[in-house]
Structure 1
Amino acid sequence: MPSGDYVRYVALGDSQTEGVGDGDDTVGLRGFADRFAEHLAAVNPGLQYANLAVRGRTAGEVRAEQLGPALALRPDLATVVAGVNDLLRPRYDAAEVAGHLEDMFAALTDAGTHVVTLTFPDVGKIMPLARPVRSRVLDLNTRIRAAAARHGVAVAETGRQAVTTDPRMWTEDRLHASPLGHERIAAALAHAIHLPGTDDAWTLPLPPQRVPSRRQAAGAELRWAAAHLGPWLGRRLRGRSSGDGRTARRPRLLPLSPPPDSAAQTGPRDSP
């Protein structure tokens, strides 16, 4: 399908797709899916967009809770991004996670939907304390590429670009992309489907910045662990999730309204 013919876009996933890190619950979330929809709408102003993502969801939960509703919306384009919440858990089954992703790829493409996904950056470079799961990330990326190839799914290779591990691409919790990170992810997705007017500028490095000393870096790690890692582990131990009680913020296909930073552009905004 030519890129300009996309009229129904549905996003499936967890907190990154929901938009956590780009806006908040007061002003509304934006996120890479909203920003990607803006790229699509620039080519086809008639685009309608739904976002079924909910923070904290594992790949299996995304499949169980979002795949059916997504298929019911009959999208001609869908993004499927999940697996990070699985990677960080002690009990991690790579084949099972990749299987859930491939099942979603298969169901959507069999229904005539063009699907695009992405690979994950090296979390060990973003969170040094997470280096033990680096091999999991690399392995999952390999499995994602193989599953995508089997089903004709486009892949935005955000896992292979050094810029995606730049601290400025991430919020203070280092688990969620910053507004700049979400912007680059959206551009990567648009480039992956060869949307007119897109290029590989999203891969360019950010301007140089001062490198912290070892002492400063160690202090930053301790502060991050206390402020973010500790509470996250506490929720895991209590069997809690950041997504408990939450539902999709945009469950229906809706036309786009101007993005929050420019009334002159066409882009999505959360419904009131």
Structure 2
Amino acid sequence: MAHPPETSAPRSYAALGDSFTEGLNDPGRNGRYAGWADRLAGLLAAQHPDGDFRYANLAVRGRLLDQIVAEQIPQVREIRPDLVTFCAGGNDILRPGSDPDEVAERFEAGVLQLREHTGTVLVATGFDTRGVPVLGLLRGKIATYNGHLRAIADRNGCAVADLWSLRAVHDRRAWSDDRLHLSPEGHQRVALLAARALGLTVDEDPDAPWPARPAPTPADVRRENLQWARSHLLPWVGRRLRGESSGDHMAAKRPDLLPL
């Protein structure tokens, strides 16, 4: 994995997005989730031994792209951080009938707004869902959206964390039981990748091989798939049919730029 040129670390960082950036299924302090953005903030803060680093996480689970643009970008205008990570559109792509070309147009409109109020914008591509139950059917849409994201980043001078190429997340251990959100180790791998995309030197390799373990038997796989469908897939489908979101009535966990 190529190393970008090293750059001076930002002294303030705001994370925008949905459950991916909120950090679901990575237990943190005070009953809240941590996640890759919190972990990236920790890596950035370590670049400033004087303690002059501030961090906000505006992400809320379940948010669609238009909601993120309407609710979170205005907050960026007020706090004006040095760095913004803008990860959005994934929930839109998951919806039946969504058009990745159209979603990308709205995403770029959000990027243009952010570029007026922050020094650096980092975007992340979607994961490669090859071999993933149900989500594997959307692989073509995700790849199309990723192509747009890379082009948007090129046109607007954004950094890119290329999650599609991150081989480490093809291991089941990178994902929590719901198979939609990362495990704590998966979040750590993404944080390392994002840090590298920003030009930071990190001691660990985000794509380092996982420890060897016995392969699951076909019976184990069938049993796990059935349990996953009962516990996670069916409730998720039910929420979609009822027009509900896991983030209804929820607010950002860290809405202000505060010392980490």
State the TM-score, normalizing by the size of structure 2.
Answer: 0.92
How far 1:113 moved relative to its partner?
A: 2.2
Structure-1 residue corresponding to 2:171: 166
Uncovered stretches (5+) of structure 2, i.e. residues with no partner: 1-5
Uncovered stretches (5+) of structure 1, i.e. residues with no partner: 257-272
Once the two structures are superposed, what CA deviation does each residue of 1:83-135 show, in whole Å capped at 9, x if it has no partner? 2211221131212221222122222223342011111222243x323221111
Once the two structures are superposed, what CA deviation does each residue of 1:14-35 show, in whole Å capped at 9, x if it has no partner? 0011111101696221111110
Q: Does 1:156 align with 2:161?
A: yes
Give the whole-Å Cα distance in 2 for the aligned partners of 1:98 and 1:35: 27
**What is the identity, as a one-letter code, of the residue corresponding to 2:158?**
V
Structure-1 residue corresponding to 2:3: none
Structure-1 residue corresponding to 2:114: 108
**What is the identity, as a one-letter code, of the residue corresponding to 2:194?**
L
1:1-272 equivalences under 5 Å are: 3-23=7-27, 27-44=31-48, 45-125=51-131, 127-195=132-200, 197-198=201-202, 201-256=205-260
Give the whole-Å Cα distance in 1 for the aligned partners of 2:74 and 2:129: 31
CA RMSD of aligned residues (A): 1.7
**What is the identity, as a one-letter code, of the residue corresponding to 2:182?**
A
How far 1:199 moved relative to its partner?
A: 6.2
1:203 alignment partner, SS class: coil
* Fraction of identical pairs, as percent: 42
Native 8 Å contact 2:11 2:52 kept in 1: yes
Native 8 Å contact 1:124 1:133 kept in 2: no
How far 1:192 moved relative to its partner?
A: 0.3
Give the whole-Å Cα distance in 2 for the aligned partners of 1:144 and 1:236: 26
State the TM-score, normalizing by the size of structure 1.
Answer: 0.88
Give the whole-Å Cα distance in 2 for the aligned partners of 1:157 and 1:111: 24
**What is the identity, as a one-letter code, of the residue corresponding to 1:232?**
W
1:90 alignment partner, SS class: coil
Give the whole-Å Cα distance in 2 for the aligned partners of 1:184 and 1:178: 10
**What is the identity, as a one-letter code, of the residue corresponding to 2:79?**
L
**What is the identity, as a one-letter code, of the residue corresponding to 1:19?**
G
